[in-house]
């Protein structure tokens, strides 16, 4: 029985930590900030490319 409660407690701690991390990401809008950074890097890469379309 003691092992069962130990497993339940570890599962609760992992879920609480994951919830806390996800809340911080949501609260400070870190996912959108990361996407903005990645979008700028991709635009820098493709803005340097010579255009393939010639009319």
List, for residues 37-48, the tens digit of each pLDDT value.
999 999 888 877
Q: Give me the count of residues in the chain.
A: 55
Cβ 9 vs Cβ 2: under 8 Å: no
Cβ 31 vs Cβ 37: under 8 Å: no
Query: How far is the C-alpha of 12 from the C-alpha of 6, rounded, in Å?
Result: 10
The full set of domain ranges for the chain reads 2-47
Lowest average pLDDT, out of 11-15, 31-35, 41-45, goes to 41-45
Cβ neighbors of 46 (< 8 A, separation 6 or more) are none
Number of Cβ within a 10 Å radius of residue 25: 14
Output 3 or 48, whichever has higher pLDDT: 3
Place 53 in a pLDDT band, splitting at 50, 70 and 90.
low
């Amino acid at each position: 029985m003691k092992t069962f409660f130990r497993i339940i407690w570890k599962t609760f701690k992992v879920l609480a930590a994951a919830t806390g991390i996800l809340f911080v990401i949501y609260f400070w809008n870190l996912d959108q900030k990361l996407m903005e950074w990645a979008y700028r890097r991709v635009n820098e890469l493709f803005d340097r490319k010579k255009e393939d379309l010639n009319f």
